[in-house]
Amino acid sequence: MARVIVYRILGSIAAVFGASLLAFLIMRALPGDPARVILGPLASPKALVEVRHELGLDKSLFVQYWDYITSFLSGNWGYSYTLNAPVKSLFVERFPATIELALFSFIFTMATAIALALLSTYRRRPVTDGVVRGASYLGFGTPPFFLGVLLLIIFFKSLHWLPGPEGRLGIGAEAPPSATGLYPIDALLAGDLSTFWESIRHLILPSIALGVASFSFIVRLLRANLLEVSREPFLIVARGKGLARWTAFRRHALPNAFLPTLTTAGLVLGEFLAGSVLVERVFDWPGIGSLVYEAIVKQDFAIVQAFVLFSALMFVAVNLIVDLLYAAIDPRVRIPAVTAT
């Protein structure tokens, strides 16, 4: 087990290193001069040289990379000239909104995916199965931002069931006292049910828009795994012991079918946590994604560069947790098999 952990952690570090290198090189390879962007087209050559020196752009690439990594690790993620604030504090400010949407959407996605996969496999009714598979194909082919707009047109514009693109709470509404940074939980902690309900209502549409593609993928994966596992002889054995159909299915088919899905679930959560630029934009969600959108539009490279590394970190962290979880759950990963009788 210790070996597994060490191995996985080393792998994660390597992945982050690769991502940082990529982020660094891409930013350097892009056309355009950051100093020029900061100072505008009318800046004097002297001022440009000064700003380049200030940004360290006149040093060798290796030194620049070293500075970039060490300052990122020490918490200095650069300075946003468009928003006049340190990048890190911008991230800290925006991250709770992204976490909130990511977690809500993830739970929503997984719960519906599991429910539908079960529905289409447990009794094996061809009609239910067909509907679930059809729905998952549709979701697979729909881009999230387009779905977001579609949802807004239906549930906000036409039906008035759910709030429009106004962020986490209604315009002018006061945020609950911050404890976790997640509005629904903070509202519950403060005993403020109406704010809780409002924040949930605001979460529904963006969660669906964000989650549908992953949902489609997970449903199909889970369905295939469940079908495969339900043909395993150990299920017949379990039934032969006298277990009821559902008990045998729950105890033996579900855990075995979920294991391969765990990795995908981790990828999905990592993706959600890194913030979805387009979905946050559509719903005016004040998270990391919106921040990056603004940064790209205004060519604020410090934010974009920090974002690339940040999302890589999120991704790697979640997957590291999944890998460790995997080892904890699946004995075949944790314990070596016998070779001799």
Partner 1 sequence: MDALNDNGSVLSVRNLSTVFETGNAATCAVRDVSFDLRPDERLGIVGESGSGKSAMALSILGLIEPPGRVSGGEILLGGRDISKLSDRQMGAVRGKEIALVLQDPSTALDPVKTIGRQIIEVLAAHEPDLKRKAARKRAVELLEDVDISHAERRLDDYPHQYSGGMRQRVAIAMAIALNPKVLIADEPTTALDVTTQAQILSLMDRLVEDHNTAVIFITHNLGVVSEFCDSVAVMYTGRFVETSGVEHIFSAPTHPYSEALLNCVPNPEKLAQGPLPAITGFPPDLSQLPSGCSFAPRCPVGKDLAQCYEKAPVTHRISCPDGEVGVECHFAEARARGAST
**Residue 95 or residue 326: which is nearer to partner 1 going by CB?**
326
Site string for partner 1, 224-253 (x = CB under 8 A): --------xxx-xxxxxxxxxx-----xx-
Residue 337 found at the interface with partner 1 (CB under 8 A):
yes
Residue 324 found at the interface with partner 1 (CB under 8 A):
no
**CB of residue 214 to partner 1, shortest distance in Å:** 25
φ and ψ at 79, to 5 degrees?
A: -125, 130
**Residue 18 or residue 240: which is nearer to partner 1 going by CB?**
240
Closest CA to 98 of 231, 320, 280: 280
**Residue 135 or residue 325: which is nearer to partner 1 going by CB?**
325
**CB of residue 226 to partner 1, shortest distance in Å:** 14
**Residue 46 or residue 241: which is nearer to partner 1 going by CB?**
241
Q: What angle do CA 271, 272, 273 make, to 5 degrees?
A: 95
**Residue 40 or residue 233: which is nearer to partner 1 going by CB?**
233
Furthest-apart CA pair in the chain: how many Å? Answer: 85
Residue 31 found at the interface with partner 1 (CB under 8 A):
no
Residue 335 found at the interface with partner 1 (CB under 8 A):
yes
**CB of residue 322 to partner 1, shortest distance in Å:** 16
Kindly calculate the radius of gyration of the chain based on its CA atoms and give it in whole angstroms. 24
Closest CA to 115 of 132, 100, 99: 132
Among 83, 149, 173, 259, binds partner 1 (CB under 8 A): 259
Residue 22 found at the interface with partner 1 (CB under 8 A):
no
Q: Which of residues 121-150 bind partner 1 (CB under 8 A)?
A: 124
Closest CA to 305 of 77, 95, 118: 77
125: amino acid identity, one letter: R
**Residue 172 or residue 331: which is nearer to partner 1 going by CB?**
331
**CA–CA separation, 72 vs 151, rounded Å?**
38
> 3-state class of 214 per DSSP?
helix
For the chain, the distance separating the N- and C-terminal CA atoms, rounded to the nearest angstrom, is 23
**CB of residue 224 to partner 1, shortest distance in Å:** 18
Number of residues counted as binding partner 1 (CB under 8 A): 28
**CB of residue 110 to partner 1, shortest distance in Å:** 20
**Residue 82 or residue 264: which is nearer to partner 1 going by CB?**
264
Q: What angle do CA 314, 318, 321 make, to 5 degrees?
A: 145
Question: What is each CA distance from 166 to 52, 149, 177, 296, in whole angstroms?
Answer: 39, 13, 20, 21
Q: Which residues contact 61 (CB under 8 A, 6 or more apart)?
A: 28
Residue numbers at the binding site for partner 1 (CB under 8 A): 124, 232-234, 236-245, 251-252, 255-256, 259, 329-332, 335, 337-338, 340-341
